[in-house]
Amino acid sequence: MQNDLNNNNTSIQIRHLNVSIDNNHILKDINIEIPDKKITCIIGPSGCGKSTLLKSINRLNDDVDKAVITGEIYLDGENIYGRNAEVTHIRKKMGLLSQRPTPLPMSIFDNVAYGCRIHGLHNKKELRKVVELNLRHANLWEEVKDRLHAPASSLSVGQQQRMCLARGLAVEPSFILGDEATSALDPISSRNIEDLFVELKEKYGVVLVTHTLRQALRIADYVIFIYLGEIIECGTAKQVFKNPQHDLTKQYLSGAFS
Protein backbone atom coordinates (compact mmCIF):
# COMPACT_ATOMS: atom_id res chain seq x y z
CA MET A 1 0.00 0.00 0.00
CA GLN A 2 1.42 3.37 -0.99
CA ASN A 3 0.17 6.81 -0.13
CA ASP A 4 1.22 10.24 -1.36
CA LEU A 5 1.94 12.94 1.16
CA ASN A 6 -0.41 15.25 -0.73
CA ASN A 7 1.59 18.44 -0.19
CA ASN A 8 1.31 21.13 -2.83
CA ASN A 9 4.89 22.26 -2.20
CA THR A 10 6.38 18.83 -2.81
CA SER A 11 9.85 19.05 -4.36
CA ILE A 12 10.70 15.36 -4.78
CA GLN A 13 8.31 13.11 -6.69
CA ILE A 14 9.16 9.44 -7.12
CA ARG A 15 7.26 7.44 -9.72
CA HIS A 16 7.47 3.69 -10.33
CA LEU A 17 11.00 3.42 -8.96
CA ASN A 18 12.48 -0.08 -9.07
CA VAL A 19 16.03 -0.90 -8.00
CA SER A 20 17.70 -4.29 -8.41
CA ILE A 21 21.27 -5.08 -7.43
CA ASP A 22 22.86 -8.31 -8.64
CA ASN A 23 19.36 -9.60 -9.56
CA ASN A 24 18.04 -8.85 -6.06
CA HIS A 25 14.89 -6.72 -6.38
CA ILE A 26 15.39 -4.25 -3.51
CA LEU A 27 12.91 -1.44 -4.21
CA LYS A 28 9.58 -2.41 -5.74
CA ASP A 29 7.47 0.13 -7.64
CA ILE A 30 8.00 3.04 -5.23
CA ASN A 31 5.57 5.95 -5.67
CA ILE A 32 5.90 8.75 -3.15
CA GLU A 33 6.09 12.51 -2.78
CA ILE A 34 8.47 14.15 -0.33
CA PRO A 35 7.74 17.73 0.79
CA ASP A 36 10.09 20.66 0.94
CA LYS A 37 10.93 22.39 4.24
CA LYS A 38 9.83 19.42 6.33
CA ILE A 39 11.69 16.54 7.98
CA THR A 40 10.76 13.22 6.39
CA CYS A 41 11.99 10.12 8.23
CA ILE A 42 12.28 6.79 6.41
CA ILE A 43 11.81 3.93 8.87
CA GLY A 44 11.71 0.14 8.65
CA PRO A 45 13.64 -2.97 9.66
CA SER A 46 17.23 -3.62 8.64
CA GLY A 47 17.63 -4.59 4.99
CA CYS A 48 14.24 -3.27 3.91
CA GLY A 49 15.60 -0.79 1.33
CA LYS A 50 15.74 2.47 3.34
CA SER A 51 19.29 3.41 2.38
CA THR A 52 18.80 2.25 -1.20
CA LEU A 53 15.83 4.61 -1.51
CA LEU A 54 17.84 7.51 -0.09
CA LYS A 55 20.79 6.84 -2.39
CA SER A 56 18.44 6.68 -5.38
CA ILE A 57 17.46 10.28 -4.71
CA ASN A 58 20.99 11.56 -5.43
CA ARG A 59 21.99 8.76 -7.82
CA LEU A 60 24.62 7.19 -5.58
CA ASN A 61 23.30 3.79 -6.65
CA ASP A 62 24.73 4.54 -10.09
CA ASP A 63 28.11 3.60 -8.63
CA VAL A 64 26.93 0.20 -7.36
CA ASP A 65 28.02 -2.79 -9.43
CA LYS A 66 25.19 -4.65 -11.19
CA ALA A 67 22.57 -2.07 -10.20
CA VAL A 68 19.52 -1.76 -12.47
CA ILE A 69 17.32 1.29 -11.85
CA THR A 70 14.05 2.11 -13.57
CA GLY A 71 11.41 4.75 -12.95
CA GLU A 72 11.47 8.49 -12.48
CA ILE A 73 12.47 10.86 -9.70
CA TYR A 74 11.63 14.52 -10.16
CA LEU A 75 13.52 17.20 -8.25
CA ASP A 76 12.34 20.76 -8.84
CA GLY A 77 10.53 19.48 -11.92
CA GLU A 78 13.57 17.72 -13.44
CA ASN A 79 13.67 13.95 -13.90
CA ILE A 80 17.06 13.13 -12.37
CA TYR A 81 17.07 9.82 -14.28
CA GLY A 82 16.25 11.55 -17.58
CA ARG A 83 18.48 11.05 -20.60
CA ASN A 84 20.01 14.52 -20.34
CA ALA A 85 20.31 14.69 -16.54
CA GLU A 86 23.78 15.71 -15.35
CA VAL A 87 24.83 13.76 -12.27
CA THR A 88 27.20 16.33 -10.75
CA HIS A 89 24.47 18.98 -10.98
CA ILE A 90 21.97 16.61 -9.34
CA ARG A 91 24.27 15.70 -6.47
CA LYS A 92 24.97 19.39 -5.85
CA LYS A 93 21.28 19.72 -4.98
CA MET A 94 21.52 16.95 -2.39
CA GLY A 95 23.65 17.49 0.70
CA LEU A 96 24.36 13.97 1.99
CA LEU A 97 25.38 13.03 5.53
CA SER A 98 26.54 9.44 5.81
CA GLN A 99 26.37 7.13 8.82
CA ARG A 100 29.95 8.02 9.72
CA PRO A 101 31.58 11.41 9.09
CA THR A 102 33.66 11.53 5.91
CA PRO A 103 36.20 14.35 6.34
CA LEU A 104 38.50 14.82 3.38
CA PRO A 105 42.27 14.62 4.10
CA MET A 106 42.68 18.39 4.21
CA SER A 107 42.03 21.32 6.52
CA ILE A 108 38.67 22.25 8.05
CA PHE A 109 38.52 25.30 5.77
CA ASP A 110 39.33 23.33 2.62
CA ASN A 111 36.77 20.67 3.51
CA VAL A 112 33.95 23.21 3.65
CA ALA A 113 35.21 25.06 0.56
CA TYR A 114 35.78 21.87 -1.45
CA GLY A 115 32.42 21.67 -3.25
CA CYS A 116 32.36 25.41 -3.96
CA ARG A 117 35.74 25.16 -5.68
CA ILE A 118 34.56 22.19 -7.76
CA HIS A 119 31.63 24.29 -8.93
CA GLY A 120 33.81 27.25 -9.90
CA LEU A 121 34.11 29.54 -6.87
CA HIS A 122 37.78 30.46 -6.35
CA ASN A 123 37.67 34.03 -5.02
CA LYS A 124 39.38 33.84 -1.62
CA LYS A 125 37.25 36.53 0.00
CA GLU A 126 34.02 34.89 -1.16
CA LEU A 127 35.21 31.46 -0.07
CA ARG A 128 35.97 32.80 3.42
CA LYS A 129 32.43 34.18 3.63
CA VAL A 130 30.91 30.88 2.51
CA VAL A 131 33.01 28.84 4.94
CA GLU A 132 32.15 31.04 7.92
CA LEU A 133 28.45 31.24 7.04
CA ASN A 134 28.03 27.48 6.74
CA LEU A 135 30.11 26.63 9.78
CA ARG A 136 27.76 28.99 11.64
CA HIS A 137 24.75 27.19 10.13
CA ALA A 138 26.24 23.96 11.45
CA ASN A 139 26.82 25.50 14.90
CA LEU A 140 30.55 24.84 14.59
CA TRP A 141 32.10 28.24 13.89
CA GLU A 142 32.83 29.24 17.47
CA GLU A 143 34.57 25.92 18.10
CA VAL A 144 36.87 26.02 15.05
CA LYS A 145 37.28 29.68 14.00
CA ASP A 146 40.81 29.83 15.42
CA ARG A 147 42.00 26.61 13.79
CA LEU A 148 40.44 26.60 10.34
CA HIS A 149 43.68 25.39 8.78
CA ALA A 150 44.09 22.45 11.15
CA PRO A 151 43.40 18.98 9.71
CA ALA A 152 39.73 18.05 9.74
CA SER A 153 40.77 14.73 11.25
CA SER A 154 41.71 16.61 14.45
CA LEU A 155 38.04 17.27 15.18
CA SER A 156 35.93 15.00 17.37
CA VAL A 157 33.53 12.66 15.60
CA GLY A 158 30.57 14.89 16.44
CA GLN A 159 32.43 17.97 15.17
CA GLN A 160 33.40 16.11 12.00
CA GLN A 161 29.76 15.32 11.31
CA ARG A 162 28.80 18.98 11.74
CA MET A 163 31.69 19.98 9.46
CA CYS A 164 30.43 17.53 6.84
CA LEU A 165 27.02 19.13 7.17
CA ALA A 166 28.58 22.57 6.62
CA ARG A 167 30.38 21.19 3.55
CA GLY A 168 27.08 19.96 2.13
CA LEU A 169 25.31 23.24 2.88
CA ALA A 170 28.05 25.30 1.25
CA VAL A 171 26.97 24.29 -2.28
CA GLU A 172 23.41 25.48 -1.58
CA PRO A 173 21.50 22.19 -1.98
CA SER A 174 17.75 21.86 -2.31
CA PHE A 175 17.57 18.95 0.12
CA ILE A 176 19.63 17.53 2.97
CA LEU A 177 19.81 13.73 3.06
CA GLY A 178 20.91 11.79 6.13
CA ASP A 179 21.66 8.05 6.12
CA GLU A 180 21.55 7.14 9.83
CA ALA A 181 23.57 10.32 10.27
CA THR A 182 23.64 10.19 14.08
CA SER A 183 24.12 6.45 14.67
CA ALA A 184 27.90 6.74 15.16
CA LEU A 185 27.64 9.70 17.55
CA ASP A 186 27.41 9.97 21.31
CA PRO A 187 23.99 11.04 22.70
CA ILE A 188 24.92 14.71 23.08
CA SER A 189 26.38 14.99 19.56
CA SER A 190 23.40 13.08 18.20
CA ARG A 191 20.96 15.50 19.79
CA ASN A 192 23.01 18.45 18.46
CA ILE A 193 22.63 17.12 14.91
CA GLU A 194 18.90 16.53 15.44
CA ASP A 195 18.50 20.12 16.65
CA LEU A 196 20.34 21.33 13.55
CA PHE A 197 17.98 19.41 11.27
CA VAL A 198 15.00 21.04 12.99
CA GLU A 199 16.56 24.49 12.46
CA LEU A 200 17.54 23.78 8.85
CA LYS A 201 14.09 22.65 7.72
CA GLU A 202 13.12 26.32 7.63
CA LYS A 203 15.26 26.54 4.48
CA TYR A 204 15.68 22.97 3.22
CA GLY A 205 13.78 19.76 2.84
CA VAL A 206 15.35 17.11 5.10
CA VAL A 207 15.12 13.36 4.38
CA LEU A 208 16.52 11.01 7.02
CA VAL A 209 16.94 7.27 7.17
CA THR A 210 16.80 6.33 10.83
CA HIS A 211 16.92 3.02 12.65
CA THR A 212 15.77 4.72 15.85
CA LEU A 213 12.03 5.18 16.28
CA ARG A 214 12.66 7.57 19.17
CA GLN A 215 14.50 9.88 16.81
CA ALA A 216 11.67 9.84 14.27
CA LEU A 217 9.19 10.52 17.06
CA ARG A 218 11.22 13.53 18.19
CA ILE A 219 11.80 15.30 14.89
CA ALA A 220 9.75 13.87 11.99
CA ASP A 221 7.05 15.87 10.24
CA TYR A 222 6.37 13.03 7.79
CA VAL A 223 7.15 9.32 7.97
CA ILE A 224 7.67 6.66 5.29
CA PHE A 225 7.55 3.04 6.49
CA ILE A 226 9.25 0.51 4.19
CA TYR A 227 9.11 -3.27 4.50
CA LEU A 228 10.79 -5.72 2.08
CA GLY A 229 11.29 -3.00 -0.51
CA GLU A 230 7.72 -1.72 -0.54
CA ILE A 231 6.17 1.36 1.00
CA ILE A 232 3.62 0.06 3.45
CA GLU A 233 2.45 3.36 4.89
CA CYS A 234 3.33 7.03 4.87
CA GLY A 235 1.86 10.29 6.07
CA THR A 236 2.29 12.87 8.77
CA ALA A 237 4.21 11.72 11.84
CA LYS A 238 1.08 12.18 13.94
CA GLN A 239 -0.97 10.03 11.57
CA VAL A 240 1.55 7.19 11.26
CA PHE A 241 2.58 7.05 14.92
CA LYS A 242 -0.80 7.72 16.53
CA ASN A 243 -3.18 6.10 14.06
CA PRO A 244 -1.37 3.63 11.76
CA GLN A 245 -3.63 2.09 9.13
CA HIS A 246 -1.70 -1.06 8.25
CA ASP A 247 -1.19 -4.07 10.51
CA LEU A 248 2.50 -4.30 9.55
CA THR A 249 3.01 -0.70 10.67
CA LYS A 250 1.30 -1.41 13.98
CA GLN A 251 3.51 -4.47 14.54
CA TYR A 252 6.71 -2.59 13.69
CA LEU A 253 5.85 0.34 15.95
CA SER A 254 5.00 -2.03 18.80
CA GLY A 255 8.45 -3.67 18.49
CA ALA A 256 7.17 -7.01 17.19
CA PHE A 257 10.07 -7.00 14.70
CA SER A 258 13.01 -4.73 13.95
- Position 95 scores a pLDDT of 87
> Whole-angstrom Cα distance, residue 38 to residue 204?
8
Q: Calculate the average pLDDT of the chain.
A: 92
Amino acid letter, residue 26: I
Q: Is 246 exposed, middle or buried (0-12, 13-18, 19+ CB in 10 A)?
A: middle
pLDDT of 3 higher than 90: no
Residues 102-120 have a mean pLDDT of 95
What is the pTM for the complete model shown? 0.91
Hey, where are the domains in the chain? 36-48+89-253
Confidence of residue 2 (pLDDT cuts 50, 70, 90): low
pLDDT of 45 higher than 70: yes
> Whole-angstrom Cα distance, residue 204 to residue 163?
17
Confidence of residue 77 (pLDDT cuts 50, 70, 90): confident
Confidence of residue 5 (pLDDT cuts 50, 70, 90): very low
**219-244 as b/e, with b when 16 or more CB fall inside 10 Å?**
bbbbbbbbbebbbbbbbbbeebbeeb
Confidence of residue 6 (pLDDT cuts 50, 70, 90): very low
> Whole-angstrom Cα distance, residue 206 to residue 54?
11
- Position 4 scores a pLDDT of 46
DSSP helix, strand, coil percent of the chain (3-state; round to 5): 40, 25, 35
By three-state DSSP, how is residue 15 classified? Answer: strand
pLDDT tens per residue across span 229-253: 999 999 999 999 999 999 999 999 9
CA-based nearest residue to 171, from 104, 112, 116:
116
> Whole-angstrom Cα distance, residue 32 to residue 207?
13
pLDDT tens per residue across span 175-228: 999 999 999 899 999 999 999 999 999 999 999 999 899 999 999 999 999 999
Domain 36-48+89-253: homologous superfamily in CATH: P-loop containing nucleotide triphosphate hydrolases (3.40.50.300)
Residues 139-143 have a mean pLDDT of 96
pLDDT tens per residue across span 155-182: 999 999 999 999 999 999 999 999 999 9
Q: What is the DSSP string of 145-186?
A: TT-TTSBGGGS-HHHHHHHHHHHHHTT--SEEEEESTTTTS-
- Position 116 scores a pLDDT of 93
Q: Is-contact 206 54, C-beta < 8 A?
A: no
Measured on CA atoms in the order 153, 157, 168, 183, is the torsion positive or negative?
A: positive
pLDDT of 13 higher than 90: yes
> Whole-angstrom Cα distance, residue 154 to residue 214?
31
pLDDT of 29 higher than 80: yes
